[in-house]
Amino acid sequence: MAHPQIGRVVFWMTGALLSFSASAVAIRGLAGKFNIFEILAIRTGFGLAVMLAIALSRPELRRELTSRRIGLHAIRNSIHFVGQYTWALAVTLLPLATVFALEFTMPMWVALLAIPLLGERMTTSRAGSVILGFLGVLVVMRPGMSSFQPASLLVLLAALAFALSLIATKKLTHDVSTFVIIFWMNAIQFPMALAGSDPLFFLRLDGNTIIPALVFGVVGLTSHYCLTNAFRAGDASVVVPIDFMRIPLIALVGWFFYNEALDMFVFIGAGLIVCGVLWNLHAESRRVYLPEPG
C-alpha cells in the first residue's frame, strides 16, 4: 500500500478512535440525569435530524428512501438497539477499558454465526480466533474470582447483538446504500428509545449536559463515517490493527478522567482477543488474494 493511502487510513481511524472514546465519555456525562433510553434518544434523534436534512438537500438520496427490505431493516435495528442499550449501560457500570476489550469479541461471534446464517464454513483460523477470543474473555472477566464483575456479561451480549446486526447489514448492502441503512437505523431506533423515555426528558438538558448531548449526537455519526472511509482508503489488514488502539486509548481516558486502574489482566485478555482476530484476518486475506493452486 502506498504511503498516501496509509496516511488517509490513519487520518480516518484517528477520527474513529476519538469518536468512540468521546461516545463513552459523553454517556457518562449524561448518565447522572438521563436513563439509557433517553441517552439513546438523544443520539438517534440527532442522527435522524441530520439524515433528514441531507435527504432534503439531495433529491437523489431522497429517492432511495423506500420501504425496500424494510423487514430486514426492522430486524437488524431491533437487534442493534439491544446492543446499543447493553453497551451504553455497561459503560456506566464497568471500567472503560474492560468494556472496549470485551466488545472486540464481536468478530468471534461473527465467525460462529456466519456458519448457520450465511452458510460460511469454519476454517482453522476462524476456529483459532474463536478459541483465543474465549480465552481472552476468561482472562478479562476472571469468573469465579472476587474480581469478577457480572456487568461484564452485558458487554458480551452487546457484542453478540452487534455481530448479528453486522450480518444483517452485510445482507442489506446487496440491495440498499449505506445512506439508506444509516437513515433507517436512526428512524427505527429513535421511537424505540422514546418508548422508554420521559416525554419531556429534553427539558432536563442544562449547562452541564448540553455539551455531552451534542457530542454524543455528533460522534454517533462521525464514528460510522470515519470507520467507513478508513476501510475505503485501505485494506482491512491496515485498518483493523489501528482500531485495536481503542483499548489503550480508552484505558488512558478512564485513568485520566475517572481514576480507573490500568488493569494488567484486561490488557492480557485483550491481547489474546486481538491476536485471534489478526490471525484470522491474515488467513482470510491470503485465501482471498492468493491464486488457487493448479
89 within domain boundaries: yes
- Cite the beta strand spans of 5-63 per DSSP E: none
128 within domain boundaries: yes
Q: Which of these ranges, 50-59, 214-223, 280-289, has the smallest mean pLDDT?
A: 280-289
294 within domain boundaries: no
Q: Which residue type sits at 196?
A: G
* Rounded-to-integer distance, Cα 50 and Cα 63, Å: 17
* Rounded-to-integer distance, Cα 8 and Cα 155, Å: 31
Q: Residue 294's pLDDT is what? A: 37
168 within domain boundaries: yes
What is residue 96's DSSP assignment?
A: H
185 within domain boundaries: yes
Look up residue 170 and give its three cell numbers: 452485510
What is residue 63's DSSP assignment?
A: T
The answer, yes or no, to whether residue 1 has pLDDT greater than 90, is no
Q: Residue 112's pLDDT is what? A: 86
Average pLDDT, the chain: 88
Q: Residue 81's pLDDT is what? A: 97
277 within domain boundaries: yes
Q: Residue 236's pLDDT is what? A: 64
Task: Dump pLDDT digits (tens) for 214-227.
Answer: 999 999 889 878 88
254 within domain boundaries: yes
Q: Residue 7's pLDDT is what? A: 81
Our count of domains for the chain comes to 1
Q: Residue 293's pLDDT is what? A: 41
Look up residue 207 and give its three cell numbers: 449547562
The answer, yes or no, to whether residue 13 has pLDDT greater than 60, is yes
**Are 185 and 221 in contact, with CB atoms under 8 Å apart?**
no
Residues spanned by the domain of 164: 3-289
35 within domain boundaries: yes
The answer, yes or no, to whether residue 232 has pLDDT greater than 80, is no
Task: Dump pLDDT digits (tens) for 29-46.
Answer: 999 899 999 999 999 999
